[in-house]
Amino acid sequence: MGLDLHRRRSVLVRMGSDGRQLGKTVRFDNDPVRLKREIAKAGPRAKVVLEATLGWYWAADVLTEAGADVHLAYPLGVEAFAYRPVKNDERDAVDLADLPRMGRLPEAWLAPPETRELRELVRGRHKLAITLMTRRLTRRRTRPTERRDASPYYLAQAA
C-alpha cells in the first residue's frame, strides 16, 4: 500500500505483488479511525509505505497500532517522483506502493515515539535559539550608531 500523506487529506492506493492496483484509490480526510478502517480492508500485516514528510508521526503510530508493516520512504531518495510527466497525489501513492516491489525503496529510520519526543524538543530549542539570535542581531542593526570600543580619535572624527 502507498499512502501519500498531507496536512489535511491523504490518498491511499492498494497494489498486488504483481504491480496491479487493487480496488479504487481512496481519498480521505486525515482521521485515525478512518485510516484504521482502510488498513483493515487490506488484511493483517499489510505493508504500507509513506513518505517521511511533515506530520508522518501520527499516521505511522496509527498504522503500527493497526498491525501494519510500516516503511518510511526518504523524500530526497525517491528519484522517480522528480522525472514524472504527471504529478498528482494518486500517482505519488502508486509510486510509493511500487517502490518496495521493485526493490528501490530508499528507507528512512522509523524512530520510536520516545526518540521522536526528544527530537521535537531539540528542534524547538534550535528554532527558539535562532529566533532569539535574529532578534538580537536585528536590534543591534537598528540602534543609533554607537561604538563602545571606539577610540577617542574615531569619536572626534564622527563629531
* Residues 89, 115: Cα–Cα separation, whole Å: 30
pLDDT of residue 50: 93
- Cβ(54)–Cβ(7) below 8 Å: yes
* Sign for the pseudo-dihedral over CA of 77, 119, 36, 67: positive
In 24-112, alpha helices (H): 32-40, 56-65, 89-102
Q: Full-prediction pTM beyond 0.95?
A: no
* Residues 108, 74: Cα–Cα separation, whole Å: 5
Residue ranges in the chain modelled with pLDDT below 70? 79-82, 140-159
pLDDT of residue 44: 84
- Cβ(75)–Cβ(51) below 8 Å: yes
* Residues 41, 103: Cα–Cα separation, whole Å: 25
